[in-house]
Each structure stands twice: as C-alpha cells, then as structure tokens.
C-alpha cells in the first residue's frame, strides 16, 4: 500500500470516528435536555444562539455560543432579571449548556443559528442575525 492509499484509508477511518462521536454527542445533549425538562416541570423551552462574529475590531473572529443567559420559555435571556422562577431555571439551563464545548455546538447546530429546545423533544434552529 502506498502513502496515498494509507492516507485515504486513515481519512476514511477518521471520518467514521467523527460521525460516531457526533452521534454520541447529540445523544448526550438530548439526554441532558430530557433530564432538565423532567426535573423542572415549569421549563417548557430553552434557547441560545451560536455564531462567528463578522468583525471583531481587528482580532480573530471566533465561533462562540451564548450559554450564560439562555432564553427560557420564550423569554429573551437578557430580559430575565426580575422573575425569580425564570432566573432559577436559567441558571440550571446555563449549567447544563456549559457541559459542552463551543466546537460541539458547531458540530450539532452549525453557525449563525438561534437554537430552541422544546419540552416535546424537538429542536428548532433559525438563522441568527447578530450584527
């Protein structure tokens, strides 16, 4: 087997392993979400956005996921500050979301997206306009 054939074989194996890892990652995310919904009966949905900035004042534009203040039950996460129940739910959701790396989210959901996870197990992704 020549070097190019070895390279192609290794690349195929790496792709297979990445596909397996991606499937396990999605399953883990789903299990965490189900657990969160089961433990918090008032939680109907949570959401967050992921994007790479188009401009970063000359610095490198790096993909990021906004997990600090997730949306809760359709309420914008940045507007949850005077509702104790939503604040508590937001803290629990944020703790769950931080278990995954930004690169995991990019693999699962893509770039420039608003993600909403619903109690019924469905996940909606919409374009996120961030600039």
Inform me whether the pLDDT recorded for 103 exceeds 80.
yes
Gap between the Cα atoms of 73 and 47, Å rounded: 8
CB atoms within 10 A of CB 73: 17
Range of the domain at 121: 3-127
Rounded (5°) CA angle 50-39-89: 50
User: Residue range 62-74: average pLDDT?
Assistant: 95
Gap between the Cα atoms of 46 and 34, Å rounded: 12
Inform me whether the pLDDT recorded for 106 exceeds 80.
yes
CB 50 within 8 A of CB 110: yes
Domain count, the chain: 1
pLDDT in tens, 14-64: 999 999 999 999 999 999 999 999 999 999 999 999 999 887 777 888 999
Local confidence band at 97 (pLDDT 50, 70, 90 cut-offs): very high
> How much is the pTM?
0.86
Top pLDDT among 56 and 93 is at: 93
Gap between the Cα atoms of 48 and 106, Å rounded: 13
- CA 94, 59, 114, 122 torsion: positive or negative? negative
């Amino acid at each position: 087997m020549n070097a190019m054939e070895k390279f192609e074989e290794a690349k195929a194996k790496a792709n297979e392993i990445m596909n397996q890892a991606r499937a396990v990652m999605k399953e883990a995310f789903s299990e965490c979400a189900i657990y969160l919904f089961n433990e918090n009966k008032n939680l109907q949905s949570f959401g967050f956005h992921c994007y790479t900035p188009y401009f970063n004042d000359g610095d490198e534009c790096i993909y990021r996921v906004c997990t600090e203040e997730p949306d809760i039950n359709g309420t914008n996460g940045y507007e949850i500050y005077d509702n104790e129940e939503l604040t508590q739910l937001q803290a629990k959701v944020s703790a769950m979301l931080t278990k995954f790396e930004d690169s995991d989210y990019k693999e699962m959901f893509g770039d420039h997206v608003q993600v909403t996870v619903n109690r019924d197990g469905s996940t909606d992704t919409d374009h996120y306009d961030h600039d």
